[in-house]
């Protein structure tokens, strides 16, 4: 989250007013469609209640910085992707506790009966909003240092993220193996459905393919480290499983989609340039 802050300026939040339609479509998808889609898929695959809540928690997590990188590689609208990551990272302070409670009640998991949701809310603030603000502050006050060292921070963040996911999967390896078929298929279905629905929703609402690319990748690549950290507070390590398994799919599927859209966006740019020259 600190690393995401190093990429952000106040202008990224002002983009809400500059390109409201793209931001509105992306935020609605992230804040409403994603967690509700996770609940629907958990129901379709008849997941154990704890795993179902864990999948909704993953669906409630904000977009991740890797979505920004993949959007850039796909020649999508990177500025929109960055803004969506920033806005969802702020809003998740409210939405994660709400969706956790709703999912626990809906699936009758009973896993949150002894959980202090105020503590969960403060923890989400501590692991999202505070480091995000800290990163933005460093960028504003030490811009040259940020430009010189951002690549180092990118690598460090990627390593830390990888270690978090590996540790989460390893800690619950036995349960993951026992439930892999159901959890893996549910996670794969959520990833593919989230990217597909958000892409076609954006295109239906007349957004460009570059904007749709950004929105789809933002929906497909969540900050699962946030979901894993929150899951660790809930008193049952099974909550970790969906976020850990989902992480195994999102980078691969995101890369395939980014490569596909890169070719489409390159061809479209070339065609547009030819028309202008003519």
Which is nearest to 171 in space by CA: 103, 241, 252? 241
- pLDDT confidence of 253, banded at 50, 70, 90? very high
pLDDT at 132: 82
Instruction: Indicate if the pLDDT at residue 73 is higher than 90.
Output: no
pLDDT tens, 146-159? 888 877 887 887 78
Greater confidence, 157 or 208?
208
Instruction: Indicate if the pLDDT at residue 114 is higher than 70.
Output: no
Percent of the chain beyond pLDDT 90? 29
Least reliable range by pLDDT among 162-166, 240-244, 270-274: 270-274
Cross-strand pairs, 222: 63
Domains (ranges, CATH) in the chain?
A: 2-277 (1.20.1530.20)
User: Residue 110: left (phi > 0), alpha (psi -120 to 50), or beta?
Assistant: left
pLDDT at 69: 83
Greater confidence, 148 or 276?
148
- pLDDT confidence of 112, banded at 50, 70, 90? confident
Instruction: Indicate if the pLDDT at residue 250 is higher than 80.
Output: yes
């Amino acid at each position: 989250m600190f690393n995401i802050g190093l990429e952000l300026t106040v202008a990224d939040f002002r983009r809400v007013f500059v390109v409201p339609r793209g931001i509105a479509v992306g935020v609605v998808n992230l804040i409403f469609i994603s967690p509700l889609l996770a609940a629907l898929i958990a129901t379709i695959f008849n997941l154990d209640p704890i795993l179902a809540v864990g999948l909704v928690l993953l669906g409630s997590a904000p977009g991740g910085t890797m979505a920004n990188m993949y959007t850039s590689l796909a020649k999508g609208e990177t500025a929109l992707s960055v803004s969506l990551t920033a806005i969802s990272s702020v809003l998740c302070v409210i939405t994660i506790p709400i969706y956790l409670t709703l999912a626990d009640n809906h699936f009758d998991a009973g896993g949150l009966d002894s959980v202090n949701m105020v503590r969960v809310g403060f923890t989400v603030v501590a692991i999202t909003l505070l480091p995000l603000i800290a990163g933005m502050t460093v960028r504003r006050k030490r811009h040259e240092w940020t430009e010189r060292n951002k690549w180092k921070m990118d690598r460090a963040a990627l390593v830390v993220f990888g270690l978090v996911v590996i540790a989460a999967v390893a800690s619950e390896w036995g349960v993951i193996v026992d439930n892999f078929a159901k959890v893996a298929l549910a996670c794969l279905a959520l990833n593919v459905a989230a990217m597909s629905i958000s892409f076609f929703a954006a295109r239906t609402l007349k957004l460009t393919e570059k904007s749709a690319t950004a929105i789809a990748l933002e929906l497909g690549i969540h900050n699962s480290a946030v979901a894993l950290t929150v899951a660790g507070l809930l008193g049952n390590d099974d909550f970790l499983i969906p976020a850990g398994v989902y992480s195994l799919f999102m980078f691969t599927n995101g890369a395939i989609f980014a490569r596909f859209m890169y070719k489409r966006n390159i061809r479209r740019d070339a065609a547009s340039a030819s028309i202008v020259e003519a």
